[in-house]
Amino acid sequence: APGVHQLASLLVELDASDEASRILCADALYQMGCVEEAHKLLLLALSGNPQRSPILARLALLQLKKGFLYDGNQLLKKVIRIGDTSCLLPIMDIFKDEDRKLMQTQCHFRALTILK
């Protein structure tokens, strides 16, 4: 993760508008346990395009991880409303086991609520 972070940081420096590099950098920060820095970077990336499901899904996890269930649920709702949920499965590979279970539980809970 540290090497990926260094590479992604260099890519962001070369092209500050490159969303993929920002996401890669945020993922590396998350893997290194720097959740707040990852959160800030994702918010910055989201400011350029507020309808990006991959960014919203990552932010949802970080909110859930911090215990902000309402905020996490709102972000998950937004991903569902956008209709691009295909980003969720690849992102689950990035999440740590405990966070993956947290996200799966929360998504399952939201799905049951919607069905009711």
Work out the angle at residue 22's Cα, subtended by the Cα atoms of residues 16 and 23, and round it to the nearest 5 degrees.
155
Amino acid at position 79, single letter: V
- Give per-residue pLDDT as tens, 34-82: 899 999 989 988 887 777 889 999 999 899 888 898 998 899 889 888 8
Output the pTM of the full model: 0.81
Question: pLDDT for 73-107, tens place per residue?
Answer: 899 889 888 888 888 888 888 888 888 888 888 87
For residue 65, give every residue at least 6 positions away whose Cβ sits within 8 Å of its Cβ, in sequence order, or none.
35, 99, 102
Q: What is the dihedral of CA 28, 77, 92, 48, to 10 degrees?
A: -30
Per-residue DSSP letter, 86: G
**Overall CATH class of domain 1-115:** mainly alpha
What is the DSSP code (8-state) at residue 95?
S
| 16-38 per-residue burial string, b: 16 or more CB within 10 A, e: under 16 | eebbebbbbbbbbbbbeebbebb
